[in-house]
């Protein structure tokens, strides 16, 4: 086996392991969240039954019929959905066909201890009268169907695996880079979805438990004799399990405001007991274990890409003595730039994907995982495509300005206008502020009511941007022209090339690096154009470019998820354009550096 083949096998293995790891972390986190839900629900239900079952009169046994009634009522409580069984001693009360509780299990559940996880179900003891007494046991099975993983995650597992194996197999072959790029894209989306799956599992399970427990507390309150609020809280507090139950001193005011919550946790729930009597149920502290898995799921997928990239680079040269040290020091030199890249490019992109596949309100914080729904939603809105179209039109001002600026620069270079005044004006022009130019332009347009006409705003935008771009480009091109040796102009003149041919065959190719650099940076900046459009258009949505649309959706309408989806859509389109023009862009960017 050649060394390259060994690298290919290792790459394939790495891709499989990382995809599998991410999937396992995501689904594991989900199971873990369901288990926590079952444990908490068991504890709440056990506390409920303990609270509502009246203590027996002294000298008599437990009130079995009463207990049975309460247990049956619990299972039938509308809106309370867990898969529950209540045991009195070892016998099941709700479904007679269920197997009796084993003595071993009963022995494990020490009275008044925390819920235990045994054989795929959560068991919580029901505290009996007196210390150390156990009335019965509540068993709750996790509900696998409560929050389905959905088709996205398995689909992406398959896609990412195929792309990863393909990239490994095509390492240093034709189209290998394309496969690696495809793998990276798939892994990025897969990582976002996996992290989302893990994170929302907890969120959904926690939200469900909060809702159901609030119901239980309300039900318990209605079954207990009326008593003062503080003593009610004392009796009901065990129902809150590891959450917190307290008197809401605001008298329910929090319910209208939706409560305050930190991102990633469910909002508190408010339970009404008539008049101004409110209790507040706060969620348990967020579970770091799930959060960690959330992160692992997201990063594991990307780790495979990085590993494969490193392998590809590593496989490109035979290892010479001392090269490992050399490579190590090279990576250390690259590390700051790499961190910069991760912090400012990779991480924001990952966050973007994460936000785009969730429901995420500016006010309400993150919500549940929604897959590609946001993308479909924004794709169905004409405003998105109008903004994209306007941006495409707007970007066209860059080549336009380029042509005009080049013509001006050639005229100035060949003409007599090399005087100090021309040069001073040229040097000053790029310092004109975008905002100042925009404000002036807006004043002119507003005073003449032109802005109301269709397309006028985009026209004005293109006009101002073109002028500013020309002002910036002319000095750049003049510098480029001055760097072309005079002797080449002479040679071209002597060789008999007419002016246009001379420009096309000699000057343009020699200015190539400058032109490509100006084009690449100009287009990149124009595609993100915001300032000028915002100043000229003010708050009119009919003139939005993509960046303006993002702002409107994300910050004016408060839908960060949809804004992220617009950004993602735009990124995908730009990536497509860039891929088709990769040579020009690469050279342009390389020239820029």
Partner 1 sequence: MSAVALRGVTKAFASASTPILNQVTLEVPDGEFFTLLGPPGSGKTTLLRCIAGLEQPSGGDVVIGDDVVTRRTAAARGVAMVFQRQALYPHLTVRGNLGFPLDVRGLPRTQVNRRVLATAERLGLERLLDRLPGALTDGERQRVALGRALIREPRVLLLDEPLAQLDPGARAELAAEIARWHAAGPVTTVHVTRDVTEAFTLARRLAVLEGGRLHQTGSPRELYESPADTQVAHLMGRPGMNVLAGLARHERRATEVECGPLRIPVPLREYDGQIQIGVRPEHVAIVPRGAGVGDATVRLAEPSGVDTLLHLDAGGVPLIARVPGLPDIAAGAVVGVGVDPGHIHFFDSSGIRLG
Q: Which residues bind partner 1 (CB under 8 A)?
A: 485, 487-488, 490-498, 501-502, 505-506, 509-510, 512
3 state DSSP class of 300:
helix
Return d(Cα 428, Cα 411) in angstroms, integer: 19
Q: Least Å distance between CB 485 and partner 1?
A: 5
3 state DSSP class of 387:
helix
Nearer to partner 1, 310 or 497 (CB): 497
Q: Least Å distance between CB 320 and partner 1?
A: 28
Nearer to partner 1, 98 or 490 (CB): 490
Q: Least Å distance between CB 498 and partner 1?
A: 7
Q: Least Å distance between CB 509 and partner 1?
A: 4
Nearer to partner 1, 276 or 495 (CB): 495
Nearer to partner 1, 341 or 508 (CB): 508
Nearer to partner 1, 322 or 496 (CB): 496
Contact assessment for residue 104 and residue 98, using Cβ atoms and an 8 Å cutoff = no
Nearer to partner 1, 326 or 490 (CB): 490
Burial 273-284 (b: 16+ CB within 10 A, else e): eeeebbbbbbbb
Q: Which residues contact 164 (CB under 8 A, 6 or more apart)?
A: 12, 15, 16, 18, 19, 183, 186, 187, 304, 305, 308
Nearer to partner 1, 410 or 573 (CB): 410
3 state DSSP class of 84:
strand
The residue behind tokens 């023009």 is 581
User: Which tokens belong to 490?
Assistant: 């002479």
525 membership: H or E segment, kind and range = helix 508-527
Q: Least Å distance between CB 401 and partner 1?
A: 24
Nearer to partner 1, 506 or 569 (CB): 506
Task: Please state the φ and ψ torsions of residue 343, each to the nearest 5 degrees.
Answer: -70, -40
Q: Least Å distance between CB 408 and partner 1?
A: 23
Q: E-strand spans in 20-94?
A: 83-88, 91-92
Nearer to partner 1, 433 or 501 (CB): 501
Nearer to partner 1, 181 or 417 (CB): 417
Q: Least Å distance between CB 424 and partner 1?
A: 22
Q: Least Å distance between CB 264 and partner 1?
A: 57
| Length in residues, the chain | 593
Q: Least Å distance between CB 496 and partner 1?
A: 4
End-to-end CA distance of the chain: 40
Return d(Cα 526, Cα 145) in angstroms, integer: 48
Q: Least Å distance between CB 517 and partner 1?
A: 16
Nearer to partner 1, 436 or 493 (CB): 493
Q: Least Å distance between CB 419 and partner 1?
A: 15
Beta-carbon neighbour count of residue 69 at 10 Å? 13
User: Which tokens belong to 331?
Assistant: 């990576």
Task: Give the per-residue SS3 of 316-380.
Answer: CCCCCCCHHHHHHHHHHHHHHHHHHHHHHHHHHHHHHHHHHCEEEECCCEEEEECCCHHHHHHHC
The residue behind tokens 């690696």 is 180
Q: Least Å distance between CB 488 and partner 1?
A: 7
Return d(Cα 439, Cα 48) in angstroms, integer: 66
Return d(Cα 452, Cα 150) in angstroms, integer: 47
User: Which tokens belong to 499?
Assistant: 């002016």
3 state DSSP class of 139:
strand
Q: Which residues contact 396 (CB under 8 A, 6 or more apart)?
A: 462
Q: Least Å distance between CB 588 and partner 1?
A: 16
Nearer to partner 1, 75 or 484 (CB): 484
Residue 95 DSSP label: -
Contact assessment for residue 275 and residue 180, using Cβ atoms and an 8 Å cutoff = no
Task: Please state the φ and ψ torsions of residue 272, each to the nearest 5 degrees.
Answer: -100, 135
Q: Is 380 exposed, middle or buried (0-12, 13-18, 19+ CB in 10 A)?
A: exposed
Task: Please state the φ and ψ torsions of residue 124, each to the nearest 5 degrees.
Answer: -130, 130
Nearer to partner 1, 30 or 516 (CB): 516
Nearer to partner 1, 403 or 491 (CB): 491
Q: Least Å distance between CB 480 and partner 1?
A: 14
Task: Please state the φ and ψ torsions of residue 22, each to the nearest 5 degrees.
Answer: -65, -40
Return d(Cα 252, Cα 262) in angstroms, integer: 19
């Amino acid at each position: 086996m050649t060394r390259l083949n060994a690298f290919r096998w290792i790459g394939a293995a790495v891709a499989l392991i990382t995809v599998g790891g991410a999937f396992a972390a995501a689904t594991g986190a989900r199971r873990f969240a369901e288990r926590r839900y079952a444990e908490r629900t068991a504890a709440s239900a056990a506390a409920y039954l303990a609270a509502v079952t009246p203590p027996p009169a002294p000298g008599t046994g437990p009130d079995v019929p009463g207990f049975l009634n309460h247990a049956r009522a619990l299972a039938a409580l509308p809106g309370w959905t867990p898969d529950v069984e209540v045991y009195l001693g070892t016998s099941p009360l709700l479904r007679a066909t269920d197997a009796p509780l084993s003595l071993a299990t009963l022995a494990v559940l020490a009275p008044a201890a925390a819920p235990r996880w045994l054989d795929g179900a959560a068991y919580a003891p029901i505290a009996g009268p007196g210390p150390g007494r156990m009335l019965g046991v509540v068993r709750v099975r996790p509900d696998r169907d409560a929050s389905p993983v959905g088709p996205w995650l398995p689909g992406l597992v398959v896609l990412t695996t195929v792309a990863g194996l393909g990239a490994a197999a095509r390492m240093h072959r034709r189209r290998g880079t394309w496969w690696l790029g495809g793998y990276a894209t798939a892994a990025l989306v897969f990582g976002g979805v996996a992290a989302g799956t893990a994170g929302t599992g907890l969120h959904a399970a926690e939200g469900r438990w909060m809702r159901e427990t609030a119901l239980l507390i309300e039900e318990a309150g209605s079954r207990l004799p009326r008593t003062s609020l503080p003593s009610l809280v004392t009796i009901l507090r065990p129902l809150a399990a590891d959450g917190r139950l307290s008197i809401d001193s605001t008298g329910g005011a929090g319910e209208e405001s939706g409560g305050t919550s930190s991102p990633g946790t469910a909002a508190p729930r408010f339970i009404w007991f008539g008049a101004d009597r409110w209790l507040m149920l706060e969620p348990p502290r967020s579970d770091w274990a799930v959060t960690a898995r959330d992160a692992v799921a997201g990063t594991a997928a990307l780790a495979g890409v990085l590993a494969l990239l490193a392998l590809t680079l590593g496989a490109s040269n035979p290892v010479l003595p001392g090269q490992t040290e050399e490579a190590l020091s090279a990576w250390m030199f690259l590390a700051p730039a790499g961190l910069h890249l991760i912090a400012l490019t990779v991480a924001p992109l990952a966050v973007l994907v994460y936000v785009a596949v969730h429901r995420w309100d500016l006010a309400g914080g993150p919500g549940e995982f929604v897959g590609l729904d946001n993308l479909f939603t924004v794709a169905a809105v004409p405003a998105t495509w109008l903004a994209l179209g306007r941006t495409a039109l707007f970007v066209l001002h860059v080549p336009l300005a380029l042509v005009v600026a080049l013509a001006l620069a050639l005229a100035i270079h060949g003409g007599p206008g090399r005087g100090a005044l021309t040069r001073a004006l040229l040097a000053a022009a790029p310092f004109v502020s975008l905002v100042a130019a925009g404000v002036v332009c807006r004043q002119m347009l507003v005073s003449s009511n032109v802005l109301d006409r269709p397309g006028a705003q985009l026209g004005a935008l293109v006009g101002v941007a073109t002028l500013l771009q020309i002002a910036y480009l002319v000095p750049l091109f003049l510098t480029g022209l001055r760097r072309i040796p005079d002797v080449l102009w002479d040679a071209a003149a002597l060789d008999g090339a007419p002016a246009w041919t001379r420009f096309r065959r000699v000057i343009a190719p020699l200015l190539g690096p400058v032109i490509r650099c100006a084009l690449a940076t100009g287009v990149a900046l124009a595609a993100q154009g915001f300032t000028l459009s915002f100043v000229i258009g003010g708050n009119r949505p009919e003139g939005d470019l993509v960046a303006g649309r993002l702002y409107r959706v994300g910050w004016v309408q408060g839908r960060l998820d949809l804004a992220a989806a617009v950004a993602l859509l735009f990124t995908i389109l730009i990536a497509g354009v860039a891929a088709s023009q990769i040579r020009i862009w690469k050279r342009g960017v390389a020239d820029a550096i």
